[in-house]
Amino acid sequence: MQRRTFLTTGAIGTAATALATPAIAQDKRQWKMVTAWPKNLPGPGVAAQQLADRITTLSGGRIEVKLFAAGELVPGRGVFDAVSEGTAELYHAVPAYWGSKSKGILLFGSQPFGLRADEQVGWMVHGGGQALYDEMYGRFGIKPFLCGNSGPQWGGWFRNEINSAEDLKGMKFRTTGLASEMAAKMGMAAEAMSGPDMFQALQTGALDAGEFIGPWTDSALGYYQVAKNYYWPGVGEPSSAEECGVNADVFNELPDDLKQVVQAASDSLYNQVWTEYTTKHAISLQAMVAEQGVQVKMFPEDVITAMGKAAAEVIDDLRQDDDELVKRITESFVAYRDSVGKYMVYADNGQMNARNLVMGY
C-alpha cells in the first residue's frame, strides 16, 4: 500500500458545523465515530472501520455509524474529548493516548513487561479489570470497551545500532503511554506523535528512533526507508489494546438490545483484529527483510535489564499516586499479571519453547 493512500486527512475546521447531536427517527440513530488514525491505516485504521460496520450490521441499521478519520472532524488526539463532551457518539483509539487525563487509564492499554493480548482480556473479564475500566472512564462520561489488540509491539526503528543501555541516553524517541515514562527514566527524551509524523521526524533527524506498532502497520508507513535497524522485543508494550469509547449518556439511552449490540460488536472484533495483526505482521516482516534490507536485531541484555528496572519504577510511581482509583487499578493489574505469569511458565511459555526445538517439521 502506498503511504499517500491513507495519509490524506480532511479539514479540521469543518468540525464546528459537522458535529451535532445524534439523529433518532423511527428507532434509527446516526452516530459519528471519530478515530485516532488515518483512513484505512493497516491495523488500527482498518479495525476502526470494521467496528463501525459491525455495529451498523448487528443493529440491523438501527445504529448507523459513519467513520471520520483523524483530522476530518477532530484531531486524532482530540477524539476522547469529542466523545466526552457529546460532540461525537463514539471513538476508536488506544488508552495509551489518554495519560493526561489519568495515569491509571494507561494500564488498560499496555504496560511495560505487562500483559499479553489474551491476558489483557482475562484481567478485564475475570480479574476485575472491566469494573475499574468503567469506573475510571465514567469520570469523563464515557463507556469503554476493548475491541482489538495489536499483539506484541516492537522495540522500534533506530537510525543507529544500539550496543548498550548507555547508547539510549539523550536519544529522542517516539513512544506513548507508560512506555514513554519507562523511556524517560532511562534518560531518553520521549516524544508523542502520530505514526505519519514519526516518519517525517525520523527522516529529518528530529527523532533518533521510534516505535509505532509492528511490521504490518510500520511497513505501510514506510519507516524502513529512513531507519534500517528494527529492534525487538518490544517490552514497553507486550500488547496494546484498542478501544471503543461511547458517550455514556448516549449509551445509557439505548434500549437493552442495542447496548448488547455495541458490546457484542466490540467483543467479537477483539480476536479477529488481534489475529489479523499477528498474521500480517509475520508476512510483512519477511517482506521487509527480503526486499527492503531491514536489519532485525535483538536489544542487548543490559538494555532489557535497564528497561525492566525503569518499568518497576513506573509501577512504583503508580502505586504511590495521589488518586486512590489509580492505586486500585495498579494493584489489580499487578496481582493478575503475577498470578497468570507464574502459570504461563508451564503453559504458553513451555509450549513455545518446546515448539522452537522442532521448528521445520
Binding residues for substrate are: 153, 174, 211, 237
3-state secondary structure 293-354: CCEEEECCHHHHHHHHHHHHHHHHHHHCCCCHHHHHHHHHHHHHHHHHHHHHCCCHHHHHHH
Q: Can you tell me the distance from the alpha carbon of 127 to that of 337, in angstroms, rounded to the nearest whole number?
A: 10
Residues near 120 by beta carbon (within 8 Å), at least 6 away in sequence: 129, 146, 149, 239, 241
Annotated binding site: 153, 174, 211-212, 237
Q: Can you tell me the distance from the alpha carbon of 2 to that of 6, in angstroms, rounded to the nearest whole number?
A: 8
Residues near 173 by beta carbon (within 8 Å), at least 6 away in sequence: 156, 183, 188, 189, 190, 191, 207, 208, 209, 210, 211
Annotated binding site for Na(+): 212
Chain mean position to CA 330: 18
Q: Can you tell me the distance from the alpha carbon of 109 to that of 235, in angstroms, rounded to the nearest whole number?
A: 14
Helices (H) and strands (E) in the chain, counts: 14, 12
Residues near 146 by beta carbon (within 8 Å), at least 6 away in sequence: 108, 120, 121, 124, 241, 242, 243, 244, 266, 270
Q: Which amino acid is at 21?
A: T
What is the C-alpha end-to-end distance of the chain, expressed in Å?
Answer: 33
Length of the chain: 361
**CA R_g for the chain:** 20
Q: Which residues pair with 249 in a beta bridge?
A: none
Strands 295-298, 156-158: pairing kind: unpaired
